[in-house]
Amino acid sequence: MPENTSPQIRRSRKTGRRHPLASVALIAIGLLFTGGAYAAFSTSTASAETDMTSQQTIDEGKKLFAANCASCHGLSAQGSSVAPSLIGVGAASVDFQVGTGRMPMQLNGPQAEQKPVQFTDQDIAAMAAWVASLAPGPGIPEASLLDAKGDAANGAELFRINCAMCHNVAGAGGALTEGKFAPALDGVSAQHIYEAMITGPQNMPVFNDMNISPEDKRDVITYLKYLENNPSPGGYALGSLGPVSEGLFLWIFGLGSVVALTVWITAKSN
């Protein structure tokens, strides 16, 4: 039978139809709000201090370790032919190695090099908590030791005596044997500097509290942060690599300029 709907009614129905892109727009708006809420929740959660003594944190760290580290270090962190045991290294060692991106190691070499961090702070804290639960070891340093408000002069003396032979007196780093090197300390966080002193990563010796007290470690950090925040008073520092770079600069540019000037004067006189 012919449809008796009038043209006016048909036009009203047509104009009342949903636009083809309306569903897409609604989905996009829903995803936007969901993503924003998740990001806000994740940020607030990550900013909260992780309780490293809770069983939930330790269990989460165990899962993360099994998924990302056990292939080299073993499921129980007992070590293997390609990686050392982590039993007794403490939370500080995990926080330093993973927090600086040295672990997981990208490739075999003379030493693990720093690279972009692969985990969130919360994940790093969880793995550190699990490793710390296996056996006693150096813990995360207290915030009061990381404020860089110690004695910079004492820190400078301690650094020259104990660290400058590898890291350079200005903390600019230096080469070691067999392709190894002492990294530059500019831009390294106070927490990671302290953790390096108490765990001895790579070729670095361990400076326990009997060697250098916690307050002296705080002074060393104060000295390094002073160097980082204060430019060289003598002008361009040439990488702070010491007399070798300064002498090379003098020979190449200073003496070279004198020779060039001498040649120019001789050519003009002729």
Comparing 5-14, 79-88, 245-254, which segment has the lowest mean pLDDT?
5-14
- Per-domain residue ranges for the chain? 55-134, 143-230
Question: Which residue, among 156, 174, 158, has the nearest Cα to 241 in the 3D structure?
Answer: 174
pLDDT at 211: 92
Q: Do domains 55-134 and 143-230 have the same CATH topology?
A: yes
Question: Which residue, among 149, 135, 141, has the nearest Cα to 85 in the 3D structure?
Answer: 135
| pLDDT at residue 6 is higher than 70 | no
Residue 257: pLDDT band (50, 70, 90) is: confident
**∠ at Cα 69 (91, 125), nearest 5°?**
30
Provide φ and ψ at 174, rounded to 5°.
-170, 165
Task: Give the model confidence (pLDDT) of 187-212 as tens digits.
Answer: 999 999 999 999 999 889 999 999 99
CATH number of the domain located at residue range(s) 55-134 in this protein: 1.10.760.10
Q: Match 């003496």 to its residue by tokens.
A: 255
Task: Give the model confidence (pLDDT) of 118-141 as tens digits.
Answer: 999 999 999 999 999 999 999 999
**Residue 175, strand partner residues:** 181
| pLDDT at residue 46 is higher than 50 | no
The two beta strands, 174-175 and 181-182, are antiparallel
Q: Which CATH number among 1.10.1040.10, 1.10.3720.10, 2.30.42.10, 1.10.760.10 corresponds to the domain 143-230?
A: 1.10.760.10
State yes or no: cis peptide before 201, omega within 30 of 0.
Answer: no
Helices (H), 48-151: 55-68, 70-73, 90-99, 121-134
Question: Which residue, among 181, 170, 178, has the nearest Cα to 113 in the 3D structure?
Answer: 181
Provide the residue count of the chain.
270
